[in-house]
């Protein structure tokens, strides 16, 4: 597990920022935004080649919110409260800080944290993307290379902004993932040294005739294919046949508080297919 000292890590963050953070009785960090408490839920990312967990995607969970039907809908409600760009920036940075503290205090040093960012945030921050979060990571002694920034698919339509944001994050040592949405996104091959480290593709897209071409192109450019949203055995089969390297989705594991492993159901199926984790 990480060598971070819980109390010192939280104290360093609170001394350097005005983020409203709290450590609960069971040792987890939560953030406060208006009347909501923000927590973290992690979903494993599995490597089919190395046959092990290599990281986790993180989702914000919100509570208490008795009027909401689920933690996910409560989280969406919290982002709806960020009615202007400065408030959105503050909320996003608070979420990232909560996620980082909880993850890097528990995850082995070999694992990476996959963080999605809001398209509106990337558009409102004109320069220096990732700089504020880098300061947080510095305070807790974590390298930016252990963070994968997931560029939102909305930026695929804006080549200039995509390049600018990717250059900013890459210059600070973050790893980059983007979502391939089809032929319209094939221009990303033009990025050269800015080409993402990870290409996210949905199981539906992996069933298309050109899925293998997408994987082969990404591999030639030094990237790996992440099949995200895997919900069934059929999705896993489609991902493997299309040349995916990584898997993530509810079939393998539900998002949860702990840095969990693969479900027993998925483990049995993967072993039956010759993927002995």
pLDDT in tens, the chain (277 residues): 444 555 677 888 887 777 789 999 988 999 998 888 899 999 999 998 888 889 999 999 887 533 334 545 445 566 677 678 788 888 888 999 999 999 998 888 899 999 998 777 777 676 768 888 999 999 999 999 999 999 988 888 888 889 999 999 999 999 999 998 776 667 777 888 899 999 999 888 888 867 788 899 899 999 999 999 999 989 988 999 899 999 999 988 888 887 766 555 666 656 655 554 3
Name the token pair of 74. Answer: 């409560």
Indicate the pTM of the whole model: 0.86
Beta strands in 19-174 (DSSP E): 21-23, 29-33, 36-47, 52-63, 112-116, 147-151
Instruction: Establish whether the linkage from the previous residue to 266 is cis, with ω within 30° of 0.
Output: no
Residue 79's SS3 state is helix
The confidence score (pLDDT) of residue 249 equals 93
The confidence score (pLDDT) of residue 113 equals 96
The confidence score (pLDDT) of residue 185 equals 66
CB atoms within 10 A of CB 146: 21
Name the token pair of 80. Answer: 């709806």
Task: Report the C-alpha gap between 131 and 137 in whole angstroms.
Answer: 10
Task: Report the C-alpha gap between 16 and 175 in whole angstroms.
Answer: 25
How far CA 277 is from CA of 50, 108, 231, 242, in Å, comes to 9, 17, 19, 20
Residue carrying the six token digits 């005005």: 18
Q: What is the DSSP letter of 128?
A: -
């Amino acid at each position: 597990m990480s060598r971070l000292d819980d109390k010192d890590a939280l104290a360093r963050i609170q001394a350097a920022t005005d983020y409203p953070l709290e450590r609960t009785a069971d040792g987890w960090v939560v953030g406060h935004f208006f009347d909501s408490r923000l927590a973290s839920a992690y979903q494993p990312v599995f490597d089919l080649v190395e046959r092990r967990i290599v990281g986790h995607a993180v989702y914000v969970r919100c509570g208490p919110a008795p009027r909401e039907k689920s933690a996910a809908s409560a989280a969406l409600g919290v982002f709806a409260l960020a009615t202007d760009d400065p408030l959105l920036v503050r909320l996003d940075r608070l979420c990232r800080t909560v996620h980082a503290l909880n993850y890097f205090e528990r995850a082995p040093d070999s694992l990476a944290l996959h963080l999605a960012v809001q398209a509106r945030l990337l558009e409102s921050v004109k320069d220096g993307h990732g700089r504020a979060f880098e300061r947080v990571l510095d305070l807790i002694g974590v390298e930016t290379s252990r963070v994968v920034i997931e560029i939102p698919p909305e930026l695929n339509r804006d080549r200039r902004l995509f390049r600018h944001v990717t250059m900013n994050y890459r210059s600070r040592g973050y790893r980059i993932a983007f979502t391939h949405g089809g032929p319209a996104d094939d221009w990303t091959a033009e990025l050269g040294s800015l080409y993402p480290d990870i290409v996210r593709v949905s199981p539906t897209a992996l069933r298309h005739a050109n899925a293998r071409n997408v994987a082969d192109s990404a591999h030639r450019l030094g990237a790996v294919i992440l099949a995200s949203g895997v919900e069934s055995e059929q999705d896993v089969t489609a991902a493997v046949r299309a040349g995916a390297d990584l898997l993530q989705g509810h079939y393998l594991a539900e998002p949860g508080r702990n840095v969990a492993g693969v479900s027993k159901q998925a483990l049995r199926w993967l072993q039956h297919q010759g993927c002995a984790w």
